[in-house]
A = this chain, B = another copy of it.
Amino acid sequence: MSQATELLSIVAEDIKHVEEKMRSGISDQYTDLQSVVDYLVGAGGKRLRPALTLMAANFYPVDKEKSYALAASVELLHTATLVHDDLIDNSLFRRGMPTLNVSWTPGATILTGDFLFARSAQLTAQTNNVRIVNTFSETLMIIVGGELNQLFNDGHGNVPSEEQYHHRIYAKTASLFAAGAETGGVLCNAPETEVRALRDYGYYLGMAFQVIDDILDFKGDEDHIGKPVANDLRQGIATLPVMLFNKKEPNHPTILKAVRREKVSDEEILAVVDKIRGSGCVEASMEEARRFAQQAQAALENLPDNPYRQSMHGIADYTVTRDI
């Protein structure tokens, strides 16, 4: 049993119900849509987001069916954004499996994403809790707003400030981690201070998670199958290792060209990646991820100790050591 599987084992049975909910709710007449949803659900990853949501929802006695609906809505919201992102970025693989847009028309891919958004909203409504619905619609606005902001700022041509970077990875990742953990607490009627602690945990864990993801982009890790090393930088997106390197050695011509969305050769990218790797900036980024993970663990102190809290503590450790 891998470390991740062990940490998530406390909700492993629940996750089966969640996946069932993710596949359900499609009218019998739509057999093609059913098979594509089955494919997307089958291609899922570790289910970290719904697992955290379930853990948060189990701090107090909870309506199990509602907790499955909530966790499924989190993962379907995530899946819907990935379906649209892969189309927009023309990505060919996701977790080692071909993306929808490879074999499908853009139209069918757009509509499948839309369908998943709708189904996610419907599952959220099944919690019968307007606060939860509100949190999710706001989160989706933050996620999409962040992506639009990135598109609109195409070619503005600067390495982002720390604040801009934090906002970007909050929108991209931490916002949904935070929403999942928070709404789990809301669903089981946790006291408000604990709901806040759960949200903080999700936020900091999500920040750590995304920093690690950005670091992995510099490792050419197999998690990023189908993507070349420094894929973000090739697309003009400067992440933490680049930002830290830019402080040490400002105005490196390759980085400037990249963030200005000018053409950069493979050789130039590989050369600057080597320089960044040798600069200690990847390690310094790891330090930042570890700090976020520690802040996530600190937030847990405000929650009653139980096996769920212990798993969440372990997940924070795992997040900053995974695959590295």
Contact = CB atoms under 8 A, between A and B. Distances in A.
Nearest to A88: B107
Contacts of A152: 30, 32-33, 108
Interface in A111-140: 111-115, 117-119, 121-122, 124-126, 128-130, 133-134, 136-138, 140
A94 interface: no
A141 interface: yes
A144 B130 CA distance: 24
A88 B114 contact: no
B137 A122 contact: yes
Interface residues of A, number: 47
Copies of this chain present: 2
Contact of A122 (B88, B141, B147): B141
A196 interface: no
A140 B113 CA distance: 12
Contact of A130 (B105, B111, B133, B149): B133
A110 interface: yes
5 A-B pairs with least C-beta separation:
A118-B140, A121-B137, A88-B107, A122-B137, A32-B152
15 contacts: A25-B141, A27-B145, A30-B149, A108-B152, A111-B151, A117-B117, A118-B141, A118-B144, A119-B137, A119-B141, A124-B133, A125-B130, A125-B133, A125-B137, A128-B130
